[in-house]
Structures are given as structure tokens and as C-alpha cells.
């Protein structure tokens, strides 16, 4: 079985005081991605220690095509509408191929 997967890492610098609202929008996107998209294996919303204003998404899809399908979902549209006024910066999204597990 081929265990490779398409990995997406997105990072956001959130405005002071806006972390709760950002996390609410992020959790909605993550929850629906895993529940509603058969090709989404994992969607973690991470707050790195020592960076009070940073949120990282670690997303794992079966393929690039599954990620591309994610881009057309209503829950991502909700997130895209919600997050711009909550952030200082969205860093460039990184794409990778997971080799293990």
C-alpha cells in the first residue's frame, strides 16, 4: 500500500486579542474537512509554544487532487471570509509529500 500523502502547512500571524475568533473559524474548517472530505486524512490546528500570535495548520490529504477539492468546499469559503480581519500575515503555504507513516 502506498502511504505517501500530500501535506499542506499554512501559518498565520494573528492580531492581538483575535486568537479566540481565529481558532473558532479554524476549528470549523478543520472539523468539516475531516468529517466531510473523504480525501482529508488529518487537519491539525496548532498553536506553537512561545508564539502567542501564531497558528499553524498541518493538513494531510490522500492526493493533490483531494486538496484541490478542499479548495472548493463551503467550510473553506467560510474560513476565507472570516480570517482576513483577524490576521497580521498569512505566510506562504508549503506543500510536501509525506513519506512516513
CB 32 within 8 A of CB 86: no
Average pLDDT, the chain: 95
Domain count within the chain: 1
The parent domain of residue 35 ranges over: 5-98
Residue 26: alpha-carbon gap to chain centroid: 7
Only one residue has cell 498553536, namely 47
pLDDT at 73: 98
Per-residue pLDDT reduced to its tens digit, 62-76: 999 999 999 999 999
CATH number of the domain encompassing residue 65 = 3.30.70.100
Provide the pLDDT confidence category of residue 1 given band limits of 50, 70 and 90.
very low
CB 13 within 8 A of CB 88: yes
Rounded mean pLDDT of 11-32?
A: 98
Per-residue pLDDT reduced to its tens digit, 29-72: 999 999 999 999 999 999 999 999 999 999 999 999 999 999 99
92, three cell numbers: 506562504
26, three cell numbers: 479554524
- For residue 82, pLDDT over 60 is answered with yes
Whole-angstrom distance, CA of residue 85 vs CA of residue 72: 21
Put simply, whether the predicted model's pTM sits higher than 0.75 gets the answer: yes
pLDDT at 100: 84
30, three cell numbers: 478543520
53, three cell numbers: 500570535
Amino acid at each position: 500500500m502506498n502511504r505517501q500523502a500530500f501535506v499542506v502547512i499554512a501559518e498565520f500571524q494573528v492580531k492581538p486579542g483575535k486568537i479566540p475568533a481565529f481558532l473558532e473559524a479554524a476549528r470549523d474548517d478543520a472539523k468539516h474537512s475531516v468529517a466531510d472530505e473523504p480525501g482529508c486524512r488529518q487537519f491539525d490546528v496548532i498553536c506553537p509554544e512561545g508564539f502567542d500570535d501564531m497558528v499553524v495548520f498541518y493538513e494531510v490529504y490522500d492526493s493533490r487532487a483531494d486538496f484541490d477539492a478542499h479548495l472548493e468546499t463551503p467550510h473553506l469559503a467560510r474560513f476565507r471570509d472570516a480570517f482576513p480581519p483577524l490576521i497580521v500575515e498569512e505566510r506562504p503555504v508549503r506543500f510536501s509529500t509525506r513519506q512516513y507513516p
